[in-house]
A and B are shown apart, each in its own frame.
Chain A
């Protein structure tokens, strides 16, 4: 283990958005100042996370123990490669999403905006808390906090649909976390008697029997239902009733990524890949994930509602990450870690585009979008780039992670799973590419023959367009310069990919 520093920075990075709640609530009546507070907090948070990057890249970790809460168990923070990677993604995208949500919320004149930004900030704290958690207990704490803080966001509209969606959302998330994770957590605690601190080689080895390990693994995999592993995925499409910025940040990035992040942590930090390899039980999870990948891609093909199609795409993409982790080969794990970042950037672009389309035209369904590319060229250009990244085609970052995943599958000698990867990539392409294509080249001859001119465009307001352009560019940048991500992931698997 390389050196470790003690520093308050990770705590601060977690708390900063929580502290921002106070000014946000107090400034509720003055929207500009309120949003100023949101931005300030977002930038400070990003700054704090970035400030830790050099230390982490140098191979050390940053730790801080807040206080002991249960015998031998503390609320503690520890920043390592994986946490850093996820923290970077979440905090950087928060800035972009903040801008976007201001545009979206004001564009649609939504009600209760103060509440919206308040819980937005709380959710971010929880996300970073999960990223920097040092042990399973702290992880669980922030995981639950995130479930509850996002509930008001999901049900923001407070109508019948939101009520049903919110109910599904909480039912799935709470019942799995209380029903599966909590007992698993306490079981681990009882069996090891340790502080459950994550380590690169895991800490479970030698404390439990093989059958207990399998049960635990499944409890964790299904318990962190935010990862959308089937059959506990249906909250995700249901939660799409939320306003689009919420879907974008939380359901494409924060919430679902927290789910897969937790599973990655369990695989690498709790069990340890070597131990799992010895036990030979990860294949079960791998096949469940593979099943999810294929089925969700097929479902996505049938969806006409754009946000729902993206949601099912997310379910599939998340399972890539789980699948990568379950393959246990170094390269696959690296791939799944980097895929967190790549998919986040790609998917958030797609969601923000969906939102921008809704703000500008009020259209939700793909069938209505024929020829829309001519009216909203920037949006659809960004959409196409995002789609490429999600599919894993150049010149986007998605290619990098996909490459690692596929080669990782070869390393693990899992030819069947390799085939799954390839099939699903084709499916991805099948449900994403036509949208952009038909927007620019509609079948309808009349639409197709309309001459294009910048003057006739009807883009959404600038607050919406800017962020999605930024993320689209980011997706391309990550293709050109993915090294630091790979380096962070490499810290976790022991190779310098």
Chain B
């Protein structure tokens, strides 16, 4: 196996290297990728067309919004997939286990507990900022969602899984994740119902107090929130399933 791997790697590497001489140099502003009308359009026209200064967000949520919707679905799929692969017993997330079994595995460490108590609200607040301010600064739904999810993971780490489950029991996780995608696709379907193409936010100005250009910007915020919902929920779900080997009781 080792020699086979070596041969494969050498062959593939050689093949890939053979094209390097053909590539533009590092940082070349004239390279086709950077010079083609596609990239130019995104840089110069994003703001006029959607009044969003952050081009990455605009490309993500508007020009390639369809891609991003499926990106969210990828996360969603990962969550469900991990759950369905690992779960052995009938899903007991239907029961609201959080409140009754609120017993800590061990005595919480004072320093850790207090630090996390202080940190978690700040982390969550920052997550919300990242989501909401994604138009103007680096950030957006994925980043914000992941940070938000991390806050719950921190909670689970500092105490135990049950404590975090109190806030986000599994049932809620799934619902949140589904609702997130529903929000995203809801924007799309709303456009369809109003007679335009899927995710063509411009038409939404009819039901929004905004101009067509602003409608794009507002809708982007909306879909980012949807993304954040899904991300938050699934990040925590992935952690809790992997950490407890799928039975949601004790962490490894």
Whether chain A touches chain B in the assembled complex (some CB pair under 8 Å): no
Interface residues of B (CB under 8 A from A): none
